[in-house]
C-alpha cells in the first residue's frame, strides 16, 4: 500500500498532526482543478516486523530482530482497520504502530503489509479457484511424507512440486518415520528427479543434513496430517508444538496443528510448521505452471508449438511418443501423474484424444 492510501481515522495518537490536512477547509475550485483530498502520510515511524504466527485475528510479530545481534522480541498485534480485507499471513513483513512492549495484554497494530516475494497458496479442491495464501515470503518448501502411517503417495508429492513451482519455492522432499518402513521403493518414484531428499526418524533426526538444507532459509513444512511435521519441527527448533496420533484404522492424522507458525531452527534458518490438510487443491493454478513445474522437475514434457497459448493448445506434446517407450517405469508413472493433474484441473489432456 502506498502512503497516500493510508487514511486511518483511528490514529489520532500518532505524532503527525503537522501533516494532517483533514481539518483544512476545502473550497470549491471554480477552475475545476483537482480538489484537495483528505491525505495523511503513512505511519512513517512504524516499526518493521515479521509475522511468525496467526491465531484468530491476532498476529505474533517479531520485531527488533538482528538489532545488535539480538534475537528480537515478539509482540501481539491486531490488524488496523485501514487494511480492510487484506490478508496478513505467517511470513508477512509488516509495519507496526501502537504498544510494542510485548507485555501481556498489550496490542500493537499492523498498519502495512509489504509486497510478498513469494506466497504459497492452496484452494479447497481442484475445481475451486478461490485460493488461500498459507504462508508468505518463504523460499523453500519442505514436502513432508511419512514412510508409513499414513501411507506415502507419490502423486501428492507431485502436487506439492507444482505448488512449490507456482509459489517460487525450492522443493525439498523429507521422508519421516523411516523407523516404521524402508522408504526405498517410494523414493524410486522420484529417482529421475533432481530433488533434494532428507530422510528422518523421530528418534534419529539427521541434524547435519537438515542444517545443510535449512540454514539461511525460510522453509515451509507441508504434508498430510500425522506425517510428523510438528514432531520434526520440535526436534529442529526445541519448540513444544502439540503432536497428534495417527488413527490405526484410517491411517489418518487428527489435524493436531491448526495454524502456521514460524520457528527458529537451532542450527540456523526458520521453519514454518503448517496444519496438515486432507487435500492440497491446485484449482487456482494456471495449467501452464503445471507444465512448467513438471518440465522443471525432469519430466520430459515439451512446450506446445510456437505461438500457441498453453491453455488452448490441443496438439502440444506432453512427450515425444517415440520417446515414451524409453521413459522407463518411473518416467511413465510421472507422466501419468502429470496427465492426471491436468485432468483434475480441467485441462484437456491431449494424450487421451
Ligand atoms: N514411529 C514414528 N512416529 C513418528 C515419527 N514422527 C512422528 N511420529 C508420530 O506421528 C504422530 C503424528 O505426528 P505429528 O508431528 O503430530 O504430525 P503432524 O504432521 O504435525 O500432524 P498435523 O499437525 O495433524 O498436520 C505422532 O504420534 C508422532 O509421535 C517418526 O519418525 N517415527
Ligand atoms: Mg502438526
Element (H, E) at 264: strand 261-264
* Beta carbons of 293 and 233 less than 8 angstroms apart: no
- Check residues 13 and 100 and name the one with the higher pLDDT: 100
- DSSP H helix total and E strand total for the chain: 7, 13
- Say how far apart CA 91 and CA 272 lie, in whole Å: 9
Residue at grid coordinates 483511528: 10
161 alpha carbon to ligand 1 midpoint, in Å?
22
Percent over 90 (pLDDT), the chain: 41
SS3 per-residue string spanning the chain: CCHHHCCCCCCCCCCCHHHCCCCCCCCCCCCCCCCCCCCCCCCCCCEEEEEEEEECCEEEEEECCCHHHCCCEEEEEEECHHHCCCCCCECCEEEEEECCCCCCCCCEEEEEECCCCCEEEEECCCCCCCEEEEEECCCEEEEEEECCCCCCCHHHHHHHHHHHHHHCCEEEEEEECCCCCCCHHHHHCCCCCCCEEEECECCECCHHHHHHHHCCCEEEEECCCCCCHHHHHHHHHCCCCCCCCCCCCCCCCCCCCCCCEEEECCCCCEEEECCCCCCCECCCCCHHHHHHHHHHCCCCCCCCCCCCCHHHCCCCCCCCHHHHCCCHHHHHHHHHHHHHHHHHCCCCCHHHC
Give the residue with greater pLDDT, 249 vs 40.
Answer: 249
Q: Report which of residues 334 and 7 the model is more confident about.
A: 334
Domains and CATH numbers, the chain: 47-113 (2.40.50.140), 119-273 (3.40.50.300), 296-352 (no CATH)
**Atom 22 of ligand 1: nearest residue by CA position:** 225
Q: Which atom of ligand 1 is nearest to the CA of 231?
A: 15
Q: How confident is the model at residue 199 (pLDDT cuts 50, 70, 90)?
A: very high
**pTM for this model (two decimals):** 0.80
**Å from CA of 62 to ligand 1 middle:** 28
For residue 19, the SS3 value is: helix
Once rounded to an integer, what is the mean pLDDT over residues 98-118? 93
Which of 201, 253, 275 for mutating ligand 1's site (highest number of atoms within 8 Å of CB)? 253
- Take residue 241 and report the three cell numbers written for it: 508444538
Whole-number pLDDT of residue 11? 35
Per-residue pLDDT tens for 228-285?
999 999 999 999 988 887 877 776 777 888 889 999 999 999 999 998 877 777 777 7
- For residues 167-190, average pLDDT: 93
| Average pLDDT for 212-234 | 95
Q: Which set of grid coordinates corresponds to residue 115?
A: 509486497
Q: What is the mean pLDDT of the chain?
A: 77
| Ligand 2 centroid – CA 190 distance (Å) | 25
Of the pLDDT bands very low, low, confident and very high (cuts 50, 70, 90), residue 183 is very high
Q: Is the pLDDT of residue 13 over 50?
A: no
CA 270 distance to own-chain centroid:
13
Q: What is the structure's pLDDT at 327?
A: 60
Amino acid at each position: 500500500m502506498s502512503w497516500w492510501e493510508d487514511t486511518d481515522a483511528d490514529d489520532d495518537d500518532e505524532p503527525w498532526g503537522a501533516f494532517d490536512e483533514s481539518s483544512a477547509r476545502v473550497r470549491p475550485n471554480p477552475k475545476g482543478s483537482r480538489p484537495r483530498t483528505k491525505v495523511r502520510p503513512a505511519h512513517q515511524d512504524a516499526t518493521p516486523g515479521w509475522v511468525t504466527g496467526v491465531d484468530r485475528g491476532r498476529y505474533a510479530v517479531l520485531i527488533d530482530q538482528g538489532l545488535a545481534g539480538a534475537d528480537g522480541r515478539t509482540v501481539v498485534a491486531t490488524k488496523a482497520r485501514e487494511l480492510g480485507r487484506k490478508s496478513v499471513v505467517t511470513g508477512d513483513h509488516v509495519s507496526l504502530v501502537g504498544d510494542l512492549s510485548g507485555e501481556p495484554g498489550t496490542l500493537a497494530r499492523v498498519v502495512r503489509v509489504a509486497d510478498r516475494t513469494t506466497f504459497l497458496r492452496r484452494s479447497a479442491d481442484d475445481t475451486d479457484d478461490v485460493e488461500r495464501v498459507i504462508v508468505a515470503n518463504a523460499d523453500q518448501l519442505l514436502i513432508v511424507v511419512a514412510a508409513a502411517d499414513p501411507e506415502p503417495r507419490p502423486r501428492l508429492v507431485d502436487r506439492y512440486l507444482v505448488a512449490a513451482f507456482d509459489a517460487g519455492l525450492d522443493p525439498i522432499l523429507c521422508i519421516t518415520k523411516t523407523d516404521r518402513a524402508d522408504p526405498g521403493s517410494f523414493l524410486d518414484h522420484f529417482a529421475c528427479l533432481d530433488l533434494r531428499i532428507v530422510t528422518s526418524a523421530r528418534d534419529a533426526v539427521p541434524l547435519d543434513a537438515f542444517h545443510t538444507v535449512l540454514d539461511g532459509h525460510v522453509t515451509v513444512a507441508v504434508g498430510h496430517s500425522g506425517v510428523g511435521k510438528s514432531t520434526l519441527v520440535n526436534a529442529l527448533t526445541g519448540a513444544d508444538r502439540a503432536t497428534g496420533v495417527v488413527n490405526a484404522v484410517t491411517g489418518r492424522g487428527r489435524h493436531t496443528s491448526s495454524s502456521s507458525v514460524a520457528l527458529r531452527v537451532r542450527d540456523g534458518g526458520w521453519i514454518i510448521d503448517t496444519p496438515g490438510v486432507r487435500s492440497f487443491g491446485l484449482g487456482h493454478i494456471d495449467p501452464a505452471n503445471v507444465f512448467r513445474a513438471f518440465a522443471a522437475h525432469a519430466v520430459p514434457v515439451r512446450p506446445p508449438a510456437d505461438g500457441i497459448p498453453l491453455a488452448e493448445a490441443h496438439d502440444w506434446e506432453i512427450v515425444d511418443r517415440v520417446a515414451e517407450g524409453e521413459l522407463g517405469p518411473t518416467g511413465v508413472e510421472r507422466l501419468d501423474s502429470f496427465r492426471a493433474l491436468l485432468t483434475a484441473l480441467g485441462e484437456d489432456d491431449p494424450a487421451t484424444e
